[in-house]
Chain A
Amino acid sequence: MARVWIFGADINTDQIVPGRYAPYMLKNEDDLRKYPFIEHRPEFAANVRRGDIIVAGNNFGCGSSREYAPLALRMVGIGAIIAPLFARIFFRNALNLGIPCFTADLTRELRDGQEVELDLEQGRIHTDDGRTIQLPPPPAFLREVWAAGGIVPFYRMYGRFPGEG
């Protein structure tokens, strides 16, 4: 089972990982795993489990281009991020790192801390109270990148960029 972490709207990359905690600023870059939401939600990094899901409000990941924001989320094993709208640089970074992102507003359908099961293949969430939520499928050209595990394996496998014939 995965746990749901609910976040509000306009979560920016400074809230995900403040610039002061960038790998550039750290003696040990692996320490990045300790810093997702270090100030915005200090209990997150210690309590998040592999496979947990972030369910957020509108415009998730706005702000800077720092890939270490989604990288920190990948390091703690975030299984998917669901939000009605993603800021574009964050979305590309998450895609490139192979973190599945779904465009849907589930902040009212799910509660913080709720146990759910995420079926990535079918794009479905099964909740602990017996509901099944169908997630809108991402466009096919993006699904191939996720299927490859990110843009680097995708490019190495196909020698081309997504969307190109």
Chain B
Amino acid sequence: MRTIRFLLQKEFLQIFRNKGMLPIIFVMPVVQLIILSNAATFELNKVNFYLVDHNHSTTSQELVSHFESTGYFKLNGYSQSVDDGIQSILAGRDEMVLTIPPNFERDLKARKHADLQLIINGVDGSIANLILSYSQSIIGKYNASIQPTVRQLDVNHNVGQINVQSVNWYNPELNYINYMVPGILVVLVTMIGMFLSGMNIVREREIGTIEQLNVTPIKRYQFITGKLLPFWIIGLFEMAFGLGIARWGFGIPFVGSFWLVMLITAIYLLAVQGLGLLISTMTDTQQQAMFIAWFISVVFILMGGLFTPIESMPIWAQRLTWINPIAYFIEIMRMVLLKGAGIKDIWELTTALLVMAGIVLTLAISRYRKASV
């Protein structure tokens, strides 16, 4: 026990002596939370559109003002040539060209339907989809406003109308930041756990100081405890700190239990630290270790449902998330923090994390040798 205490003391001294370390611990979470949570959104903001109005009628003008009044679209240029509009998409000034044909108003009155053309910049598929569905709903609403109220005229011939009303639970304003923050906290502790603790051991090996530790009477488990424990504590602190910022800095309404989150974080940290340790037993230089750790964490994060829902992935890719600790932890965090899920809702996921931590740690410790090869 005494040995471990001294080892811990040495590690903490080393960590905090490093000038770069304090900003990493205190500044990184704030910056990450602020930037990531604000940047990671697919909401549609002001979209510039180009108008080619061949009709110049009251109806066409009304339609355009409907587009503008939603606040999502901004008229950025107009002329009589569609080619000019396409040029402006090519140049990146506009995202959409709205073309109104010459006989628009007449067709609408006489033939009961008229065509419109939307040319949308499809380079960014998700934005293009949003633009399309917003435009369609604007046109649909305008359609509804100009037609005589059919159902009132026709109520006897009609079967009746199904009224749909939509309620959004847990996040009534559909605030995307609330959703992102728990996931970002996961990324944060992953970086601390996997990168720093893994790198620490390789560093000793690369510099050669591990030899000195190897010839001391320190036992294997003591050495590993001494290496893992400091970053485990820092990771836990980091989570509490991040939660605090999210709660009071961002005003995100967390409904779940703080202590439950900390408990799961403690388990999760063991799993990722084990991964970091495993990587460090397989590598000789920090560059290598960092590279592998970066690679693994990018794959885990992208496949873990942070940015894109796991349910949208093909089945084989969903299966792969069974071995992805980040996916489990992100899901648990969201369930607990946003929906107030209790231990009985998440025990299966938690058990999975525990098993993972056990396997990875055992593997890492058994691979670690005191003797140098």
Q: Do A and B come from one complex?
A: no
